[in-house]
Structure 1
Amino acid sequence: MTKTYKNIKVIGFDADDTLWVNETYFREAEEEAGKLLSLYETPNKIDQELFKIEIKNLPTYGYGVKGFILSMIELALELSNGKVSNDVIAQMLKIGKDMINKPIELLDGVEDVLKELSKKHRLIVATKGDLLDQERKLEKSGLLKYFHHIEVLSEKHDSNYKQLLKRLDIEPEAFLMVGNSLKSDILPLVKIGSQAIHVPFHTTWQHETVTMKEANGSEYATVTSLTEILDLIN
């Protein structure tokens, strides 16, 4: 759907897979887990069981690398009936530390877009994940100077966005959200009367997928790259 956005005063950006690469590293880590646990199960079964444990643990650990690695270790203990070696556990911990210490790979055109939009709009980050990890990535990205506010949310439901906009004194109709997840970045904003632009990433975590029925009737734009949003925002 093609549309333009007028009277927008504040623009929010998701961080992971909208500003920089993130999900790719989780897919690589899952492949490593499959290799480490291949003695106990097939790669496909390992992926399925890891996802189940991650979802079960979300209320306890939240989103991010730390919860992911703890879920991976839990899976290793379950599949091996507690017999997994210390070496395998150590390798899993190393996978997590390597993920956290990955260099920031900005997506194409990100800084040019932020630089241009910041001339006329107030920009904020609204993202999920581990607070310390997200703060670290923002600092390493070199993008902090473009944002007036950083918000790391435990969830991205319409109620979370309502609270955020109220706290920042932003009218819903004057707010535009840009992100890669229909479930977290787009549909909740449309629901509360804000605007949204979907910038799909080439891989999406299963938990973030939505059905056509769930997205049906929601008005938002979809672009293939972040640079295209400059043509939509007046």
Structure 2
Amino acid sequence: MKDSIKREIVITADGSKTIHLPELEEQYHSKHGAINEAKHVFIKSGLHHVLDKNNPNIIHILEIGLGTGLNAFITFLEAEQNNLSVDYVGVEAYPVSIEEAMLMKYPEALLVKNRESDFERMHQSMWEQPAKINSNFNLTKRKQFFVDIIDQNQYDLIYFDAFGARVQPELWTSEIFKKMYDALRIKGVLVTYAAKGSVRRAMLEVGFKVERLPGPPGKREMLRATKNDINDC
């Protein structure tokens, strides 16, 4: 995908905004509701699930496709509300500009007052350098192609929010999911909005236990994959 591809801001079904790529007929978040999708797939089915199941003192999260920063910002708010310590790494090959990100007006859409500065701080933080957004939330942004990820046994949770397989099928292969499997700790979890059979098979091929879950608005199903303990295999 090119850096120069045209981007348009559109309003999704829940009133929140996203970026649409007309040349690809693709958008950064679901047209059925950007915030609803983020909360259902990544927070409810991912973050809350890991907290309930593994109860970590600090949760290490990797986001594949940082994009507009919506998932990171909602996680930031969850961490603050629940006094949860989060170390968050967001990987993005084609970063969104600060100006584009601020036009999303996510703090306003999420009905949180006086948080625009926190959202802006996340986007202003330097790439490749850890940034302390507040006492609960550390953020590291990495400009990186997903195929170049080599993290090992580092994360409790992965938000897999890449562009869809129709647009970038190379991001939904067993090669990429092997990298995700290796990046997770034992009993770590990956969640994604996708539910295609080919995606599920690629996950199973590299060793994940895969669940089909009810999807967000506009999608019947989504997938959650868990890295098994060797004793569970």
TM-score, normalization by structure 1? 0.37
Bigger share in helix: 1
Larger Rg: 1
TM-score, normalization by structure 2? 0.37
Bigger share in strand: 2
Higher relative contact order (CA 8 A, sep 6+): 1
